[in-house]
Each structure stands twice: as C-alpha cells, then as structure tokens.
Chain A
C-alpha cells in the first residue's frame, strides 16, 4: 500500500471541466485521465425502451458527464485538491452536480512522481 490516493471526480456540469482541471493544476497535480460517462438513469431513459418515458423527468440537459481520475501522492494533497475543486465547481451535495470521492491505492506500476 502506498500513501497515494485515487481522486475520483464525476462532474455533471461539463462546461466546468476546465475550472476543475485548473484547480488540480493549482494544487500541483499535473496528471489525470478524463473520461466521458453517462449516468445510469440517462442511459436507461435513452437506451432501454421501457424506460423511455422517464427521459422528460431527468433534470439538467447534459447527456454526458465527465469522470476525472487522478492519483495524488498523499492525503494532504488530496484534501487540498478536493477543497479547491469544490471552491471552483460548487457544492457537490446539490442535485445534478456530481460526486467526488477518493480511494486508497494498493500497488502501482508506472506511477510518475
């Protein structure tokens, strides 16, 4: 087990991605992977005909979300990064914003320091 943590940040407001990445850079985090993702409800409403009627009930207009994965060296950096992201992105506890969490990392290969 290393001290490194995996920061997972899923944002529904895609237009704020730039702000979030700038916040990571500000904390000295220069590596992250950015993935396109769809929420389960959006996927079901769009792709499973039985649930098509629920499309209109989905709040927000973004069909896709962004998932940002970044390995940060330690918990201090992680907390700074999460605080900075929240300060630029907004309160994640509000509906249709997203979620941010971290995971401990076991063994790694290829981690650049």
Chain B
C-alpha cells in the first residue's frame, strides 16, 4: 500500500509549535477543522482524547500515530506534524515525540483500510534509515517526497 492516496502535501505541517500533548491535540484539531469546516472540533478532540486514554499512540523512537474513526470523515486522511520542539507524549519508550502522523478514518465495519494505514506507518517507522531521511528533511516538500516514495 502506498500512502500517497491518504496524505497530501498540503497536510504536512513543518515546524509545528506546541507546548505539550494537550496543547498539541487542541492545535491539531483546530488545524484539521480549518481544512474540513464541517468537522466538529469538540467531537474530534473528544475522539482523540478517548483513544489516548486507552493507551498512548506514541509508538516509540519519537513517533506518534494518533488515530480516530470519525463519522463525518468520508475517506482516510493523514495529517503530518513535524514538531519544532519534541514533547512528552507518554510514549511506550518514554522518549519525547517529534513527528506525529494523525489519521482520521472513515468508520467501516471491518476497518480494513484504517488498519492497513496504521500498519504501514508502523512498519515504515521501524526503518532507521527511512526515519532519519524524514527527520532530516529540510522542508515540507522534501519531507513529502521522502514519505510518498517509501517502498
């Protein structure tokens, strides 16, 4: 599966300023609702918080993949946040998080596409060379090119 169907260059936020995890989610849903004015900020925030309550989506190595299934979402979308300063995300390895892939998925009985995207992201982030390429990208364009050309 290629991610270019789900992530757009316009959905990459390079040098995203945030103070902490709570602040990040608030800013993130505000950002997403600017792109999708029909999405409800409060509802989205609630969904992301509920997911984090289950267990942190900070998967380790400075990466987090928060994700929700949202009834108003018609297709899967990924928003990418490259943080200016790493933040504590209660990640599994307790390391601060500096790169966040936020996925909003369309609810479906099998959730197959949602699961495929999460699995793909998780697998991609396990390759140190690829991760280094992403983290060393100097701008959003370079980041996007690296991300969509992963094989």
Contact = CB atoms under 8 A, between A and B. Distances in A.
B55 A49 contact: yes
Nearest to A48: B122
Interface residues of A, number: 8
B110 to A, nearest CB: 9
Interface in A39-67: 49-55, 57
- Prevailing SS type, chain A contact patch: helix
B118 A50 contact: yes
Interface residues of B, number: 14
B65 to A, nearest CB: 6
A49 B111 contact: no
Nearest to B92: A49
Contacts of B82: none
Interface in B65-118: 65, 67-68, 92, 111, 115, 118
B59 interface: yes
Which of A49, A53, A55 has most B Cβ within 10 Å? A53
Interface of A: 49-55, 57
24 contacts: A49-B55, A49-B56, A49-B57, A49-B59, A49-B92, A50-B57, A50-B59, A50-B65, A50-B118, A50-B122, A51-B115, A51-B118, A52-B54, A52-B55, A53-B51, A53-B54, A53-B55, A53-B57, A53-B67, A53-B68, A54-B111, A54-B115, A55-B54, A57-B111
